[in-house]
Amino acid sequence: MNNETYITNSAKQTQKIAEKLAKKIVSPIAIFNRGERRGSSLVLALEGELGSGKTTFVQGIARGLGIKENITSPTFVVLKKFQVSSFKFHFFYHIDCYRLEKPEDLLDLGIEKILLDRHNIVVIEWAEKIQKILPSFIIKIKFEFVDDAKRKITMNYDL
């Protein structure tokens, strides 16, 4: 298991870290390609308290993937889909599980098909709520408050 930890002092710094991660993901020599070899999407599972920086991080990921649309939390619609212009990824899915009662609530949205497509990048806020339906390989990203402005971001992944 690999760990990377960052302390950020602003939303802008959080977005920059996420943007760099996105660029690593789509690079031809990406180290985050194990899920692709297993025939599943690349899943970033975000966990943390309300207001800890998850949506801000997703905005940075989207920018790093070249997505121009304004990224807001899909709390009420649960899922948003964006096209990605990358040689190995076609779509970016932003899922927010905050309002879900149970993981099965995502089945009507086609989550199984989304998670099985190796051409998808799937970022899930409140991923702990659907842990039992996630693929075995995920990049887990935990957000913690250090103080009002600072956040601790810890990424865990197994290569």
For the entire predicted model, the pTM comes to 0.88
Q: What is the CATH number of the domain that holds 21?
A: 3.40.50.300
75 pLDDT higher than 80 = no
99-108 confidence digits (pLDDT tens): 888 888 888 8
Report the distance separating Cα 92 and Cα 90, nearest Å. 7
Residue 35: predicted pLDDT:
46
Q: Count of domains in the chain? A: 1
Contact call for residues 17 and 6 (beta carbons, < 8 A): yes
Task: Give how far Cα 140 sits from Cα of 54, 84, 87, 123, 153, Å.
Answer: 12, 22, 24, 10, 10
Give me the domain span that covers residue 42.
2-157
Over residues 12-48, the pLDDT tens digits come to 999 999 999 888 877 755 555 544 445 689 999 999 9
Nearby residues of 90 by Cβ (< 8 Å), 6 or more positions away: 83, 84, 119, 120
